[in-house]
Amino acid sequence: MWNLTPDERLREWRQFRIDIGKDTVESAMQRVAHLWSYAPYVTHYLAADLVTDWPDPWTLVHENTYCDLAKTLGMFYTLYLCDHYRSSIRDLEIRIYKNTDTHDVVNLVWSNRGKYILNLVFDTVVNKTSVDENYVLQHRYTVENLKLDLY
């Protein structure tokens, strides 16, 4: 999908969202983690504290530029725009943590009270027991914060 033209990429992404809506929520989560793990990577594109500058879902996929936070946002948008969001995905959030020991920052998609966490481990879905106690929550963004309830 990542090497396609912008219009083709948007069509593929739409089809992907339709397809994962037919899967179990667990399978959909894994497929989303897999897809976005392989998106092209740049070191910096979005700033965690400038949420008003973040692109909408279609602009993000059209531009095809992804830092770690942008990949997280792509996972979030994909889950928000699939059929599971209306039925079995709850508490969908982007959570940004900082490790107090290493000062590393992790950008996570968090849902269903931490039952499903994406982007902590490459290409894998984990749960809240995998989040180290040294991680301190820095930012938390919901559908409402991102003004996605308009879509």
The total number of structural domains in the chain stands at 1
Domain that holds residue 125: 6-150
Look at residue 62 and tell me if it is in a domain: yes
Look at residue 117 and tell me if it is in a domain: yes
Q: Tens of pLDDT along the chain (151 residues)?
A: 999 999 999 999 999 999 999 999 999 999 999 999 999 999 999 999 999 999 999 999 999 999 999 999 999 999 999 999 989 999 999 999 999 999 999 999 999 999 999 999 999 999 999 999 999 999 999 999 888 865 5
Report CA dihedral (46, 67, 123, 7) to the nearest 10 degrees.
90
CATH code for the domain of 105: 3.10.620.30
Look at residue 1 and tell me if it is in a domain: no
pLDDT of 151 reads 53
Look at residue 31 and tell me if it is in a domain: yes
The position carrying tokens 């069509």 is: 11
Beta bridge partners of 141: 94
Look at residue 40 and tell me if it is in a domain: yes
pLDDT of 84 reads 94
DSSP 60-92: HHHHT---HHHHHHHHHHHHHTSTHHHHT--S-
Look at residue 133 and tell me if it is in a domain: yes
